[in-house]
Amino acid sequence: MQKLAILTSGLVVLVGLWVTWAKVATAQVNSNDPNVALVDNCDPATFNLAVGPGTCAATPHQHDTSFTEFVELLFSPLAANVIGHPAWHFSPGYISIRAGQTVRVTNAGGEGHTFTEVKAFGGGFVPLLNGVGPPAPAGTVPLVEAEACAAPPVIVAPGNTVQMKGLSSGVHKFQCCIHPWMRAVVDVE
Ligand SMILES: [Cu+2]
């Protein structure tokens, strides 16, 4: 009987711990901090061969856009500027937050990205991705680098998170200074 009592009390302790852990985990998932993900779909094999080792890290999601496909989708006959592969984007592209809230920005992709506040959207610091020179088709109007992208901006490595705190009321524009079509607006009430 004594053994059974010990076993039972042990079980009660274990269940108690499990409930506590579950509550902590839920609290993290339900955090009120708004999130923005920096997303891409770079295929490590072809990107690292074309651009250089370490350009694209492997992720658990098996990203599979080849470098050739990425370049083919930089331009469209419907636009005079670079438009970029749509798998490279900020998600969501618009959030509305209350003053005082912190925005958590996580790089869920395989490449480095920036989440840089700009006065006006513009190009980044990589001429080719601004539409300068080949493979830009004739007639392409290159993007002019956004002022903040010359700073130089903070690059968020794959898997890393940065926090944007103390944003004032109003409209804030953010872009990637590598892939300038990656853009988001944070509207602070
Ligand atoms: Cu980027």
- CA of 175 relative to ligand 1 center, distance in Å: 8
DSSP 119-151: SS--B-S-GGGGT-STTSPTT--PPPBPGGGGS
- CA of 36 relative to ligand 1 center, distance in Å: 13
Give the residue among 16, 137, 152 at the shortest CA–CA distance from 80.
137
Residue 144, pLDDT > 90, answer yes
- CA of 187 relative to ligand 1 center, distance in Å: 21
- CA of 156 relative to ligand 1 center, distance in Å: 9
- CA of 180 relative to ligand 1 center, distance in Å: 7
Cβ-contact 105, 161 below 8 angstroms: yes
pLDDT of residue 32: 74
- CA of 89 relative to ligand 1 center, distance in Å: 8
Report the chain's mean pLDDT, rounded to a whole number: 88
Residue 15, pLDDT > 70, answer no
What the chain holds in terms of domains, given with CATH numbers, is: 33-188 (2.60.40.420)
- CA of 142 relative to ligand 1 center, distance in Å: 17
* pTM for the predicted model, two decimal places: 0.83
- CA of 73 relative to ligand 1 center, distance in Å: 15
Q: How many residues does the chain have?
A: 189
Q: Which of 81 and 27 is assigned the larger pLDDT?
A: 81
pLDDT of residue 3: 52
Mean pLDDT along residues 93-117: 97
- CA of 181 relative to ligand 1 center, distance in Å: 8
